[in-house]
Amino acid sequence: MSNELLISDKKMARQNGIVQPLLTDLYQITMAYAYWKSGKVNDVAVFDLFFRANPFQGEFTIFAGLEECLKFLENFNYSDSDIEYLRQALPGNIEPEFFAYLKDLTCKDVKVSAIEEGSVVFPRVPLLRVEGPLIIAQLLETTLLTLVNFASLMATNAARYRMVAGKSVSLLEFGLRRAQGPDGGLSASKYAYIGGFDGTSNVLAGKMFNIPVRGTHAHSFVTSFSTLEDINSVILRHAETQKPCNLLELASEWRNRVSAIIDISPEEASDGELAALISYALAFPSGFLALVDTYDVKRYNFQGLPSQHRLRNMNGHTGYNSNCGTNGTRTQITSNNHSTYGYSTVERTLRSGLLNFCAVALALNDCGYRAVGIRIDSGDLAYLSVLARDTFEQVGKAFNLPWFLKLTIVASNDINEETILSLNEQGHKIDCFGIGTHLVTCQRQPALGCVYKLVEINGQPRIKLSQDVGKVTIPGHKEAYRLFGADGHALIDLLQRSSEPAPVVGQKVLCRHPFQESKRAYVIPSKVEHLCKVYWKDGHVTTPPKPLSEVRERVQSSLKTLRQDIKRNLNPTPYKVAVSDDLYNFIHDLWLQNAPIGELS
Amino acid sequence: MSNELLISDKKMARQNGIVQPLLTDLYQITMAYAYWKSGKVNDVAVFDLFFRANPFQGEFTIFAGLEECLKFLENFNYSDSDIEYLRQALPGNIEPEFFAYLKDLTCKDVKVSAIEEGSVVFPRVPLLRVEGPLIIAQLLETTLLTLVNFASLMATNAARYRMVAGKSVSLLEFGLRRAQGPDGGLSASKYAYIGGFDGTSNVLAGKMFNIPVRGTHAHSFVTSFSTLEDINSVILRHAETQKPCNLLELASEWRNRVSAIIDISPEEASDGELAALISYALAFPSGFLALVDTYDVKRYNFQGLPSQHRLRNMNGHTGYNSNCGTNGTRTQITSNNHSTYGYSTVERTLRSGLLNFCAVALALNDCGYRAVGIRIDSGDLAYLSVLARDTFEQVGKAFNLPWFLKLTIVASNDINEETILSLNEQGHKIDCFGIGTHLVTCQRQPALGCVYKLVEINGQPRIKLSQDVGKVTIPGHKEAYRLFGADGHALIDLLQRSSEPAPVVGQKVLCRHPFQESKRAYVIPSKVEHLCKVYWKDGHVTTPPKPLSEVRERVQSSLKTLRQDIKRNLNPTPYKVAVSDDLYNFIHDLWLQNAPIGELS
């Protein structure tokens, strides 16, 4: 079975089976034939893989996808059926020797240098440098771009979510159902984890990449129960004593006791929901995290008659009287001028779910288990999280259960960076965000524009000019260095010709804007990091890629070296990428050579 | 090798190996256990899969992904390693019998009805209805959503591109490198083809799905040649006589002759480019399609001195004096007030490439081959395509080669729906668009929001209420019909309870808005289409999915039944989806039953 193959334990396995040499653009293969026909089999090329602009209107990018690139290099080989397909797809006059040449082609003569996966990277700095025979180096283009573009985009997106959410909040990726293709979902799970998420709902991602998986139940679970009679068994054995406890009886008693404290009558809570939560608790007594908003709409109140809870809020008794309603359903509804019969669902929102949850959580407590918490999947998340936390505080204090105050509140409805920023302003009480669509499809900018450009052939530099200066490539074989200041922050990335000596700590380096003559700065680095390492040479991985967890740590440590103003959400400061004086002159000499002088006509 | 498995010829093979039961959210499995523990193994459920809003601010959606769903059902089976993984991932107290239950689980007891793949579909109408044991029906949710959401989004996006581009233009999908993951690219290629594209650059998509693949060469191919000495062999045998022809000599002669006609001197054309094009033509004499904008930036002219070509334009001699410069590089540059030394690249744009292309095309003609055409990948595509067409007309007329006027012009730079609409207005001369990023990532809206809702359990209808009426689900087991008018256009989609008799041709049907009481219409259908067919039952595919080419035709024939105002780009008219009177009453009775009466407090 193919799903077995994916997870076999051979060295560096677990790559999606569709990552293979034919996962490329046809023009790579037609070019390969034209090169082959032109006697360019022994030409040696250098390609740079880089991007020109950071995504999401930000000023940084996280580089990811390297491990997948290395697996691709390692497995690069046209199968017999690939060759057979190409024979059919290409014109009939292709010389048969070309197919024999392709059949034997591997990446053994290619050398690939790269920046460490998980590093913060910037426009124009090569993420990958591919050196070797022109034909094979060219044939790698599309697949390498595919593997780096989305991986880096996702890791960057996830890192941005982590930055706005802060360190104390858990972030879970819940996006599989809305992802772009099955592997779009799988890649999203992997790179969201690298970017700083704590787990995923995607089970296959858990299995393949050893990412923590999380999940409890959906609304359909709740609606599949109608009455308390739908509960099958009611007995749970006590966690320690093993004494049988009747969870239904306990929960029903607790529901009455709690209802008096949180001002909601048991009649207002759904019995079907209680049946569902009890059933779920019986299955997962030590992992009881319940979705509590299934029946939020069922409970309403006549407008104009503030409930006791609302009065408490208005008096500030609960400590929550801030502007929690700047967006979301609550404000929309209360601002409608429905007079007598308008729904004021808000006042009752979550109360069925919260009451039932507390009842089951307290019953579980009687059986020696501690509930985990709740999930809210609709409505005004700031307001509802505060309402839930208030409730937990009231209940916890009433029954002297301090841990009840710390129950986890998960929120998961259509969350994006802006939502989190807004929730932060409103003082939410959420411990964990479950984030789907906006995260996994990178809705704000669904593609990163990495390109793969020929910068040298047979030792001769190549420059691609463009009417748009931003699209002019920086020619030749180069090295990239990151120069750090005395406070540990990254100051600038410096590209040099590979023939130049590396910058030295404590010694002044002239850094120049690649295209603007007068923009120059002297930098005295306190630390110099050589950004590119050789990862692939002579047919082997020379620097083994790190485990996901270390790449994930690398993201955070690398981000830490950036000044806060470069990372901020609004109007971030651009980080500088410079060239050495030598490289500056090299670029501009070549530019003039390649841009002939016009004629008056 | 895993890539062999993907393309094996067993019945309905070729599914991406990662589509497997674990490609799901963990909560499906935790719910399954809770259901199992609750004795709900024999509960029977009905789930509807549908969306609530059309994507891209349009008023229609193309349903796609069904074939993949059927493959998934057919192969549904937890492997031993899946079970082993779940055992580790789930809490330790899960009863071992549950894993044995999972191990034996298949889709044999599930029945799946669906709308035909490639059909135009609308909000709230179930695309898939899944009936069967609650546990397995629930376990299918995430994977089915993943397979339908992106497939339908892509097919819809592609169909929209096809509509704005018109029927006479070729559309090629070029997006692999920017796609969301390798499979994001593969799915994009497949569903772009279904939606109306003519081919893809993605070779693996060509191999797996038998989609036409297209591609020629990149800028790097051109820049890898520096001088005419870089040409390896110059001999091409005549297509018919087999007589050896010296392609370099012929092309050089033609370059001189053509230069006189199109007013550009051979010195202005790049020899490296000519070498590249000759080499390419030697490799693909019958498929010569050349990228001609590599050296566009190299040729410039002093501003203020209109070239002869420009004067001709101004006098209207070339038949091209319209407002071709409403956007794009040309206007940007000529509107700069650079006086003497400013670049006026535009006047010379493409001239190196066009001259070299014509020279090689004419040389190939001497050898008995007809060139295919050119590709333009930058600049003002409307202007440049007209410039190229003018050139082909001049050359074709000068040398009496009528086919030269019909050479193909491919354009491929960052194209989206709006670009095509704008190019149309400007009277472009493009025969073929190559479209990448915007198409494959669905940049305008990167996710479709299909949901999967429980509508019946053990014969009891289920309604999910929401504060947002648009999110209220339509309960119960339903059938969907499309009613057509006498002119063949679809009038309305009608949902009925499955117990109701189907609408009959010529008989009046009352169609009601599902939620607005007073919105009603009588419809006398001239044709009634039953939208849902059974595709899966008793463990087998009961209606074999059609080949891709037929699904592709279905998209166009289905779109043809929609009135133009529903399909138009700007402010389209919404298509109506109604419920029968019976279903209306059913919904609202259930709603009142489930929404208890509030209390004055």
Question: What is the bridge-based pairing of β-strands B408-411 and B432-435?
Answer: parallel
Short-list B211, B217, B172, CA closest to B190: B211
Short-list A108, A105, A86, A106, CA closest to A96: A86
The tokens for A129 are: 């440098």
The helix/strand/coil state of B520 is: strand
Q: What is the ipTM of this complex?
A: 0.89
> Would you say how long chain B is, in residues?
601
The tokens for B76 are: 């549904």
Residue A570's Cβ-count burial label (10 Å; 0-12, 13-18, 19+) is exposed
Taking a C-beta distance cutoff of 8 angstroms, is the pair B253, B362 a contact? no
Taking a C-beta distance cutoff of 8 angstroms, is the pair A531, A115 a contact? yes
The tokens for A482 are: 């990151």
The tokens for A76 are: 């690069």
Q: Which residues of B touch A185 (CB under 8 A)?
A: 23, 146
For residue B489, count other CB atoms closer than 10 A to its CB: 14
Residue A477 has what pLDDT? 97
- Which residue of A lies nearest to B142 if distances are taken between CA atoms? A177
Distance (Å, whole) CA A210 – CA B83:
15
The tokens for A446 are: 């669904």
Rounding to the nearest 10 degrees, give the CA dihedral for residues A550, A556, A560, A565: 150
The tokens for B581 are: 């009177």
**How many angstroms separate the Cα of B164 from the Cα of each of A42, A84, A194, B156, B167?**
46, 37, 40, 13, 9
Distance (Å, whole) CA B535 – CA A574:
55
Q: Which residues of B touch A128 (CB under 8 A)?
A: none
- When CB atoms are compared, the residue of B1, B34, B93 closest to A221 is B34
Q: What is the DSSP string of B233-295?
A: --EEE-TTT--EEEHHHHHHHHHHHHHHHTT--GGGS-HHHHHHHHHHHHH-TTS-EEE--TT
Q: Give the closest-approach CA distance of B524 to chain A in angstroms.
A: 37
* pLDDT single digits (tens) B269-305: 899 999 999 999 999 999 999 999 887 643 444 443 3
Q: Give the closest-approach CA distance of A563 to chain B in angstroms.
A: 30
Q: Give the closest-approach CA distance of B522 to chain A in angstroms.
A: 32
* pLDDT single digits (tens) B566-582: 999 999 999 999 999 99
Question: What is the bridge-based pairing of β-strands A490-497 and B460-461?
Answer: unpaired
Which three-class secondary structure string do you get for B182-213?
Answer: HHHHHHHHHHHHHHCCCEECEHHHHHHHCCCE
Q: A5, A30, A103: which to substitute to probe chain B, counting the most B Cβ within 10 Å?
A: A30
List for chain A the helix, strand, coil content (%; round to 5): 40, 15, 40
Q: Which residues of B touch A466 (CB under 8 A)?
A: 297, 378
- When CB atoms are compared, the residue of A204, A216, A300 closest to B20 is A204
Distance (Å, whole) CA A29 – CA A32:
5
Q: Which residues of A touch B594 (CB under 8 A)?
A: 298
- When CB atoms are compared, the residue of A150, A301, A457 closest to B601 is A301
Distance (Å, whole) CA B240 – CA A385:
80
Give chain B's residues under pLDDT 70: 1-14, 296-349, 596-601
Taking a C-beta distance cutoff of 8 angstroms, is the pair B208, B186 a contact? yes
Taking a C-beta distance cutoff of 8 angstroms, is the pair B521, B509 a contact? no
- When CB atoms are compared, the residue of A2, A146, A600 closest to B177 is A146
Taking a C-beta distance cutoff of 8 angstroms, is the pair B374, B430 a contact? no
Residue B186's Cβ-count burial label (10 Å; 0-12, 13-18, 19+) is buried
- Scanning B284-380, the segments in alpha helix (DSSP H) are 308-315, 329-334, 345-348, 351-366
Q: Give the closest-approach CA distance of A162 to chain B in angstroms.
A: 21
The answer to whether A181 contacts B186, with C-beta atoms less than 8 Å apart, is yes
* pLDDT single digits (tens) A126-171: 999 999 999 999 999 999 999 999 999 999 999 999 999 999 999 9
The tokens for A579 are: 């060239």
- pTM recorded for the entire structure: 0.90
Distance (Å, whole) CA A331 – CA B522:
39
- When CB atoms are compared, the residue of B28, B213, B467 closest to A297 is B467
- Partners of A451 in the beta sheet? A50
* Gyration radius from chain B CA atoms: 30
Distance (Å, whole) CA B451 – CA B474:
13
The answer to whether B299 contacts A598, with C-beta atoms less than 8 Å apart, is yes
Which three-class secondary structure string do you get for A322-375?
Answer: CCCCCCCHHHHHHCCCCCCCCECHHHHCCHHHHHHHHHHHHHHHHCCCCCCEEE
Q: B12, B52, B127, B183: which to substitute to probe chain A, counting the most A Cβ within 10 Å?
A: B183
Cα-Cα end-to-end distance for chain B: 70
Distance (Å, whole) CA A243 – CA A257:
23
Distance (Å, whole) CA B547 – CA B551:
6
Distance (Å, whole) CA A313 – CA A317:
6
Distance (Å, whole) CA A280 – CA A285:
8
Pairs across A and B, CB distance < 8 A: 446
Q: Give the closest-approach CA distance of B491 to chain A in angstroms.
A: 31
Residue A112: DSSP 8-state = E
Angle between helices A548-560 and A141-165 (to 10 degrees): 60
Residue A455 has what pLDDT? 96
The helix/strand/coil state of B462 is: coil
Residue A108's Cβ-count burial label (10 Å; 0-12, 13-18, 19+) is middle
Residue A461 has what pLDDT? 95
The helix/strand/coil state of A194 is: helix
Q: Which residues of B touch A30 (CB under 8 A)?
A: 215-217, 283-284, 287
Greatest alpha-carbon pair distance for chain B in Å reads 101
The answer to whether B25 contacts A231, with C-beta atoms less than 8 Å apart, is no
Residue A486: DSSP 8-state = T
Give chain A's residues under pLDDT 50: 1-13, 297-347
- When CB atoms are compared, the residue of A4, A378, A450 closest to B81 is A4
Q: Give the closest-approach CA distance of A507 to chain B in angstroms.
A: 38
Distance (Å, whole) CA A32 – CA B143:
38
- When CB atoms are compared, the residue of A180, A224, A287 closest to B457 is A224
- Scanning B367-489, the segments in alpha helix (DSSP H) are 381-398, 417-425, 437-440
The tokens for B534 are: 């059974």
The answer to whether A23 contacts B464, with C-beta atoms less than 8 Å apart, is no
Q: Which helix (H) or strand (E) holds A33?
A: helix A26-37
For residue A203, count other CB atoms closer than 10 A to its CB: 28
Taking a C-beta distance cutoff of 8 angstroms, is the pair A2, A17 a contact? yes
In angstroms, how far is CA A519 from the centroid of its own chain? 35
